[in-house]
Amino acid sequence: MFDYLIVGSGLAGTTSARLLAEFGKKILVIEKRLHPGGNVYDYYNEHGILVHKYGPHIFHTNYKDVWDFLSRFTEWRNYQHRVLSYVNGQYLPMPINLDTINKLYNTNYNSFTIPHFFNKVKEDIEINNSRDMVISKVGVELYELFFKGYTKKQWDLYPEELDKEVTARIPIRYNRDDRYFTDKYQGIPINGYTNMINNMLVHENICILLKTDYKEVVNWIEYKKMIYTGPIDYFFDYKYGKLPYRSLEFKFETLDQKYYQQVGTVNYPNDYDFTRITEFKHLTGQKSMKTTIVKEYPKEEGEPYYPIPRKENVDLYNLYKKEADKLDNIYFVGRLAKYKYANMDVVIKDAIELVKEVEG
C-alpha cells in the first residue's frame, strides 16, 4: 500500500515525491517515458556533448525556497543566458535594450535619452492581448520586426490571438543589460538536470515505474492519495474535448567546430522555419572540439509542450478544473495538469505549496 501515487516524474512529480518521502510517506512514481525528469531531461549524445532532449532549459528564480530546495540535489554552474535576435541581417540583443535600438537604427541614445525614443514610438492603448502588450511598450515597427513573425511561427497564431501573458514574458530594457533573465538566482545544474532529478528520487521511500501509462496499472495499485502531473484533459478522458497544446520538433546537429554561435540562443523571428537555435556548450560550459546545436520547429501535433494561453482554452480548462476540484485525495500540479505556461521554478513552488497543504 502506497501513501501516494504520483503520475509523472517531471519537476512537479519529483519535487512532490521527494518532499512527501521526507515526511515518511511511501511513494510510487509512474512515468510513461523511458526516463524520469519530464521535459528537463538531459543526456550525453554520441559525441559526448550534454544536450537537453526537450529543448534548452535555463533555471532562473526569485523564490529562495525553490533555489534552496534544488540546491540540496545539485551544485550550480553560474550561467546567465544571453539571446540575440537575427533581424534585418544583424544579430541584436533580445530582450530589446538600449544597444538593440542603437544598432538597429544606427543611433546614439544613452540611458537618459532612450526614454524619449520609446515615448515617441509606444502606443497608449488598453492591453488586451499579446500584440497590445508589445505595442504599448515599443510601438508597431519593433513589434513587427521582433515579435510578430516569431509568435506566428511558435504558436501558429498572431499575437492578437494570444493572452497578454505570452509576450509579457519578454521585458523591454532602457539600459544595456543583455541578460535574458534578471532573476536573483540563475544557473544550470553542474552535472545536468537528469543528475539532479536522480538525486531527488534516490530515497528509500520512493519507488519509480518507468515506461508505463498510469491508466494501464492504476486499478492494480493500492494507494491513499494521488498527485497527477500529466495533461488534465487526458485524466478525464477528454470528456469536454481536447485541450490544445503546441508541440515542437527538435533537430539536433553536431558540428566539427568548437563553437557555432556567439551566445546560448539566437532567435529567428523572420527567417527560416525554426524559431531559435541553441548551442548547449554555452549553457553547460562543456569543453570539446565539437559542438551540438538544436533548432526548434513548432508544430501542432506531438508531445504537449506548451499550453496555449487564450480565452477559449482557459474556459475549457476551467471545465476540467471544476471536475478536478470535486475529487477528494487527488491533486493536480504542474504545467500540464494546471494548463499553465509555467517556468520550472513556478512548478516547483506549486509542488512545495501542495505538499505543505496536504502534509504540513
> In the complex, which residues of this chain contact ligand FAD (CB under 6 A)?
7-13, 30-33, 38-40, 54-58, 213-214, 229-230, 248, 305, 334-336, 342-345, 347
> Counting contacts by CB under 6 A, is residue 269 touching ligand UDP?
yes
Q: Which partner in ligand FAD, ligand UDP, none is near 214 (CB below 5 to 8 A by kind)?
A: ligand FAD
Give the Cα separation of 180 and 173 in Å (integer): 11
Q: Which partner in ligand UDP, ligand FAD, none is near 305 (CB below 5 to 8 A by kind)?
A: ligand FAD
Entry field: residues in the chain: 360
Q: Which partner in ligand FAD, ligand UDP, none is near 166 (CB below 5 to 8 A by kind)?
A: ligand UDP
Helix (H, G, I), strand (E, B) or coil at 332: strand
What is the CA angle 144-148-154, rounded to 5? 155
Helix (H, G, I), strand (E, B) or coil at 205: coil
Question: Residue 225's beta-bridge partner residues?
Answer: 4
Omega into 95 within 30° of 0, i.e. cis? Answer: yes
Q: Which partner in ligand UDP, ligand FAD, none is near 38 (CB below 5 to 8 A by kind)?
A: ligand FAD
Quick one: which of 200, 238, 249 has its CA closest to 351? 200
CB of 49 to ligand UDP, least distance (A): 21
> Counting contacts by CB under 6 A, is residue 150 touching ligand UDP?
yes
Options 169, 211, 224, 239; binder of ligand UDP; rule CB under 6 A: 169
Give the Cα separation of 89 and 282 in Å (integer): 23
> Counting contacts by CB under 6 A, is residue 14 touching ligand UDP?
no
Question: Residue 28's beta-bridge partner residues?
Answer: 5, 207
Give the Cα separation of 43 and 34 in Å (integer): 13
C-alpha cell at 92: 541584436
Q: Which partner in ligand FAD, ligand UDP, none is near 154 (CB below 5 to 8 A by kind)?
A: ligand UDP
Helix (H, G, I), strand (E, B) or coil at 54: coil
Options 12, 70, 133, 166; binder of ligand UDP; rule CB under 6 A: 166
> Counting contacts by CB under 6 A, is residue 94 touching ligand UDP?
yes
CB 228 within 8 A of CB 21: no
- The residue written with cell numbers 503520475 in the block is 7
CB of 35 to ligand FAD, least distance (A): 8
CB of 323 to ligand UDP, least distance (A): 28
* Residue 132 vs 345, nearer CB to ligand FAD: 345
CB of 164 to ligand UDP, least distance (A): 11
The residues binding ligand UDP (CB under 6 A) are 85, 94, 146-147, 150-151, 154, 166-167, 169-170, 267, 269
